[in-house]
Amino acid sequence: MTTTTPRRPRELRDFYEDPAVPVASGASRSLRQARMLAAALGPADAGARTILDVGCGDGTAAATAAPLLTGHRLIGVDWSQDALKRARAHLTYPIRGELTGAGLPFGTGCADAVLFSEVIEHLVDPDAALDELRRVLRPGGHLMLSTPNLAAWYNRGLLLAGVQPVFSEVSLRGIHGRPGREVVGHLRLYTARALREFVTAAGFRVVRLEGAPFHGVPRPLRALDRLACARASLASILLLHARKT
């Protein structure tokens, strides 16, 4: 008689340490978000500011932002060792840290701004995450958050047709019931209204909410996707600028 060893359940940490899992998002979103941050901080002539890129992935978003943030100090943070290895090609200061447990390895009020790009949709406990980001920000510090829009213009049509919306996932092992090919580990999705209310309840004042296009939209529809950015509630990606109250 032979016995088989049960397969160990795949945990989220295993998932994000898998080199095949995407850890970067579109350049257009990164550039729009970097411009928002640069406008908020102003030039470094008045003094270098400390920016934490929490969930920096492979560092490509930071590389896009760096030319617009000359003179400021940009520190990348991620819990994935694999992502941090790749991030070293783009970041001077890649640091391992996470939003759960003991929290980020930074003192209270140490940061002038936090980049939180395409991270919140992956979290089990986004409330605790925003509490931790608020802790490391100085009073009046800037939060630059981006996340996919559950109510993107095409998702509204897909849901009416009984199709699982883009960005939403029902499994870490495969795509089921929706367009797309990549499993990226999304656990939570937000509409523009929900994101604004959520961030406000966490102790921030929303300054600006904009839209950005999604690099995965089929080429024939990309012009329409860019047009939808004029109204954040319809855009593929939500870009939110808030300040710690």
pLDDT given for residue 17 in this prediction: 65
* Cα–Cα separations (whole angstroms), residue 29 to 167, 222, 229: 15, 14, 11
Compute the average pLDDT of residues 213-228: 96
pLDDT averaged over every residue in the chain: 91
78-130 pLDDT, tens per residue?
988 888 999 998 888 899 999 988 899 999 999 999 999 999 999 999 999 99
23-65 pLDDT, tens per residue?
556 788 999 999 999 999 999 888 899 999 999 999 988 889 9
Q: Are 110 and 139 in contact (CB under 8 A)?
A: no
126-184 pLDDT, tens per residue?
999 999 999 999 999 999 999 999 999 999 999 999 999 999 999 999 999 999 988 98
Task: Compute the distance between CA of residue 142 and CA of residue 112 in angstroms, rounded to an integer.
Answer: 6
Q: Are 41 and 66 in contact (CB under 8 A)?
A: no
Q: Are 156 and 228 in contact (CB under 8 A)?
A: no
pLDDT given for residue 24 in this prediction: 59
Identify the bridge partners of residue 160 per DSSP, sorted by sequence position: none
Which residue is it, tokens 């999705």? 189
Predicted model pTM: 0.90
